Amino acid sequence: MHADAQPCMEPGVETHMGAAAIAAVAAIGMLDYDAELMLRVKDGDGACFGVLLEKHRASVIHFIYRLVQEQAVAEELAQEVFLRVYRSRSSYEATAKFKTWLFRIASHLALNWLRDEKHERGQERLDDASADLPVRQVSDRRPTVEQELVYAVRLREVRLAVAALPEKQRTAVLLHKYEEMPYAQIAKVLECSESAVKSLLYRAYETLRARLAHMEST
């Protein structure tokens, strides 16, 4: 760590970054505190990398898992994502939101793994996904056993339908639905135009509607 580097600080606290770095963050709205943290990592502040790792590790693992359907692989690829982030620290430029850059790396690694391994997922593997899902929040009025079973069956059907989508469509849906990214951000992650993202999502959601149409009447 540089001798003049300060400890990683909370949002809103003035940092020692130079004018160029501050201008770079301002250019993306100054709302992306993650980009500011990454600029501090670039400047030698290792503590800020720990903050970024702690904040994003779980979401990166879950995102990759939904693509590759292998927990061990998802954890290994997520580790590689953050290794690449750290190794790229010296060349990092805050030209986009940090999360966009992070998920672009994650998408590339996951899709490359799928293509290289020619991994064919069986339906039985999807049954193991329940352990990685967020714990369902239950109100005081607990649902009946029958309601829980219906929920579990529907959830599994949705996951199967999403998993069966072509790779690019599946990635777009995961970023849009689960990560709640806007079209512009998804376009940067997938390195395509916004119109291409809209086309991917339109085809994906049309396919999902068709495959899950029977659920609307139950």
This model's pTM is above 0.95: no
Any idea which architecture 142-210 has in CATH?
Answer: Orthogonal Bundle (1.10)
Between 3.30.750.24, 1.10.3720.10, 1.25.40.10, 1.10.1740.10, what CATH number should domain 15-120 receive? 1.10.1740.10
Contact (CB, 8 A) for 7 and 47 = yes
pLDDT, tens digit, 9 for 90 and up, residues 170-216: 999 999 988 889 999 999 999 999 999 999 999 999 998 888 887 76
Kindly list the domain boundaries of the chain, sorted by start residue.
Answer: 15-120, 142-210
pLDDT, tens digit, 9 for 90 and up, residues 156-180: 778 888 888 999 999 999 999 888 8
Residues 6 or more apart from 62 whose CB is under 8 A from it? Answer: 74, 132, 178
CB neighbours of residue 174 within 10 Å: 22
